[in-house]
Structure formats: structure tokens, C-alpha cells
């Protein structure tokens, strides 16, 4: 079993839809949770970063963490064609001592259709 | 503007050749990383360095080498020992908070 599971998609939605992207994980030591957006042939860009359970909102984006279920989500409201990209979840254990390895999901490819 | 630069953007290599990928950052970050990204496999860690003159192997270091002579620079050499080097290579760095990794634009290496 992989430490982080993420459905690769592709996920196609109409413009204006609410998008829900999800990851599950098995390592209960993970405390930091991140979402990256990666456009085709580009480097990943950090979108959201959260340390605790609950919700964190930034504009049209909401990151949600449920540590009891080992489940994290990224919601995109009023999705736009410019949101079409691959979204990677990432997480790490800050108390592992020394180097904190970041573990990435495989990425979900999202297409928002005008 | 602070950021991470990688060069070249595209690189073609003949079998048996060594090639070096450049990564430079002006974020004053201590830690730097090299990842390889293949379709359907996500990001895999090749090497990382937490301070100058020190670096550690990641999960897939075989066939690769690195150096860290300056804080700003972390070049990756893909040697002829790497049997399947065609991939998208990403460099990243982090500050004191080792959890937020910032990425460069990537180098796409193709073996001819």
C-alpha cells in the first residue's frame, strides 16, 4: 500500500462547477499537508498549506484535513478553464528528526470545460 | 524576484553520455532537492542537500550524482549508469520550514 493514495483522473467538469480533489494516507505521523498545482510541462506551484485538521480557505480554494480519517481534500469553487492542471497532494512528518521527507500523491489531472 | 531556475529547459542525450542539469536558487534556502517525475509515478526523490558540502541519497539515487559547493547551486549529473534517464527533472528548495517545497520549472531530458 502506498503511503499516499490519489486518483489520477482525469476529472472533467464544466466551467463554474465545484471541484473536489482528494487524497488518503496511511502514515498517522503526517502533520503538514500541502496542495500543488502543476500545469503541463511546468514545475509544481504551492497552492495551499495547512498544519492542522479543519478547513483553510484562500479565495476560491479550500483545503480540508481530517486526520481521524486520514483524508485530505481540496475544493475549487467556480472552477475556471485556467484551473485545468494536475493537482498533487503532499504531506510530511515534521517530527521525524533531521530531514523531513515530503511524500507526494501521484496527482489528479483536472480539465475544466468552457 | 526570488525563485528557482533550472537549465536547460530541454536536453537531449545520446546513450553513454553524462549530462549535467543546472539548478540555482536566490531564496536563501538551505535545503535543496532533486526529483524525477514520470507519467503515472508521481515525484520520486533522487538526492537532497540540507547544507553546503553535504548531500544525501534519496529513493532512486543510482546512476545520478550531485554536488553542493554553493548554497545557491545544486547541479545534478545524470550518468551513463542510469539505464532509463528519459524523464522530467524537478529541482526544489525549502527554507527553515522544511515542509514547504518550492519548485523550479523543470528540465525535460530525452535520451536519443
Residue B83 is predicted with a pLDDT of 87
Averaged pLDDT for residues B73-89? 94
Q: How many CB atoms lie within 10 A of CB B47?
A: 22
Residue A94 is predicted with a pLDDT of 72
Residue B101 is predicted with a pLDDT of 87
With a CB cutoff of 8 Å and minimum separation 6, the contacts of B14 are B111, B112
Mutate to test the interface with A, among B11, B43, B55, B93 (most CBs of A within 10 A): B43
Mean pLDDT of chain B: 92
B50/A105 CB distance under 8 A: no
Distance from CA of A18 to the nearest CA of B (A): 25
pLDDT at A4 over 90: yes
> Which chain B residues have any C-beta within 8 angstroms of a chain A C-beta?
4, 6, 31, 40-43, 45, 48, 50, 56, 88, 90, 98-106, 108
pLDDT single digits (tens) A48-66:
988 878 889 999 999 999 9
With a CB cutoff of 8 Å and minimum separation 6, the contacts of B66 are B34, B46, B47, B49, B55, B74, B75, B76, B77
Averaged pLDDT for residues B10-39? 93
For residue A45, the chain B residues in CB contact (below 8 A) are 103
pLDDT at B67 over 90: yes
Residue A98 is predicted with a pLDDT of 58
Residue B100 is predicted with a pLDDT of 79
Q: What is the DSSP string of chain A?
A: --SEE-----EEEETT--EEEEEEE--TT--EEEEEEE-TTS--EEEEEE-SSEEEEETTEEEEEETTTTEEEEEESS--GGG-EEEEEEEE-TTSSSS--EEE---EEEEEE-
Question: Any alpha helices (H) in chain B, and if so which ranges?
Answer: none
Mean pLDDT of chain A: 92
Amino acid at each position: 500500500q502506498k503511503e499516499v493514495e490519489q486518483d489520477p483522473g482525469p476529472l472533467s467538469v464544466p466551467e463554474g462547477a465545484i471541484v473536489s480533489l482528494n487524497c488518503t494516507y496511511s502514515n498517522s505521523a503526517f502533520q503538514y499537508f500541502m496542495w500543488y498545482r502543476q500545469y503541463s510541462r511546468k514545475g509544481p506551484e504551492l497552492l495551499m498549506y495547512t498544519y492542522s485538521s479543519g478547513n483553510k480557505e484562500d479565495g476560491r480554494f479550500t483545503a480540508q484535513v481530517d486526520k481521524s480519517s486520514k483524508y485530505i481534500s481540496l475544493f475549487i469553487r467556480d472552477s475556471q478553464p485556467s484551473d485545468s492542471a494536475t493537482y498533487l497532494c503532499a504531506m510530511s512528518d515534521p517530527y521525524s528528526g533531521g530531514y523531513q521527507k515530503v511524500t507526494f500523491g501521484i496527482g489528479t489531472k483536472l480539465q475544466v470545460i468552457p | 524576484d526570488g525563485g528557482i531556475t533550472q537549465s536547460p529547459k530541454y536536453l537531449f542525450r545520446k546513450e553513454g553520455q553524462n549530462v549535467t542539469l543546472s539548478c540555482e536558487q536566490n531564496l536563501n534556502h538551505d535545503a535543496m532537492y532533486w526529483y524525477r517525475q514520470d507519467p503515472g509515478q508521481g515525484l520520486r526523490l533522487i538526492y537532497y542537500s540540507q547544507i553546503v558540502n553535504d548531500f544525501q541519497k534519496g529513493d532512486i539515487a543510482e546512476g545520478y550524482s550531485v554536488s553542493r559547493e554553493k548554497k545557491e547551486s545544486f547541479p545534478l549529473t545524470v550518468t551513463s549508469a542510469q539505464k532509463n534517464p528519459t524523464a522530467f527533472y524537478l529541482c526544489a528548495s525549502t527554507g527553515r520550514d522544511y515542509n514547504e517545497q518550492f519548485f523550479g520549472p523543470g528540465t525535460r531530458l530525452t535520451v536519443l
